[in-house]
Amino acid sequence: GKLIGSILLDRLQPTTKTVVNKLGEVGGPFRTYQMGLLAGEDDYFVHVVEHGVSLYFDLRKVYWCTRLEGERTYMLKNEFQPNQIIADAFCGCGAQLIRAASKKGCRIVANDLNPDAVEYCKESARKNGIDVSPGNFDVQCGDAREFIMNLGMRMSESSSTTPSSDTTINTSKLPHHLLLNFPLDSPSFLNALRWWPSGEVMDPPPRIHVYTFARGDDERTEAEVAIDMVADGLLPEGGYSIASKFRGDYLNELGCNVEAREIRDAAPGKLVICVSFSASRTLLRRMQGDFFD
């Protein structure tokens, strides 16, 4: 390992000063991992340039996955439109958001449980010339479920002129997109959407993007399993003993326009799937207990 590290360091200098080896799996509340120093300086602070955007963070303190660069580019090209509001409940060091703000002028409302990730996100945004004033690039540190709930509750209180703080999202509109990129458990946070106002007309309705691990079974593909996980997170069915299956059509009947994409392999037979759907008024009313059309 040390020999390989030295060879890599020689080839990558002067842009690279440290070579490390990942030890074990991502773990802990902040999804970080241990590293072993193979060569170079004992310094883990990095400067990453992705499509012209600079990111600055300590690799030991935040989650980072270079393999998601393609997914971030896909979202910018195919989902986000100029000047939209993008919300992210698990923003990490903010690569997706900084690119959206820098390249498309999007307004950002975001959250992460990791205080270091939040500070690195804000600092990187500043260094990229982004206005981080309230209402333009708001990033808070807190619980993702409360963040999602507050997006809707803030909408209901939009007549208030109370200025934002580190724990208050400063927007009077629902976001155009909400990202839930926590594959280990993203679907379980979807029930927080029932706090969103169902009487508000948004055309098109907010688009929710849920990233989750999924394994196919004898009946369903990985994508079908992921869609059922999302459906169960939104509208649980069958109690605790009967698993919900093939509920994509049901969600589409509620105006959700469900789509599923394979993002990457996570392990043999285990994929990361992104399930995207629209938070339609009908869906929100169902989540709030209104079953009358």
Looking at residue 134, its pLDDT comes to: 87
Assigned token pair, 1: 């390992």
Looking at residue 169, its pLDDT comes to: 46
Report the relative pairing of strands 270-278 and 207-214 from DSSP bridges: antiparallel
Looking at residue 214, its pLDDT comes to: 98
Looking at residue 162, its pLDDT comes to: 43
Looking at residue 144, its pLDDT comes to: 98
Per-residue pLDDT of the chain (293 residues; tens, 9 = 90+): 789 999 999 999 988 999 999 888 888 889 898 899 999 999 999 999 999 999 999 999 999 999 999 999 999 999 999 999 999 999 999 999 999 999 999 999 999 999 999 999 999 999 999 999 889 999 999 999 999 999 998 755 543 434 444 444 444 589 999 999 999 999 999 999 999 999 877 789 999 999 999 999 999 999 999 999 999 999 998 655 667 799 999 999 999 999 999 999 998 999 999 999 999 999 999 999 886 65
Who contacts 230 (Cβ-Cβ below 8 Å, separation ≥6)? Answer: 187, 190, 210, 212, 251, 258, 275, 277
HSE of 20, CA atoms in CB hemisphere, 13 A: 18
CA–CA–CA angle 71, 74, 77 (5° rounding): 155
Looking at residue 61, its pLDDT comes to: 96
Backbone phi, psi, residue 153, to 5°: -70, -35
Q: The dihedral of CA 14, 120, 196, 289: what is its sign?
A: positive
- CA–CA dist 38, 3 (Å, integer): 8
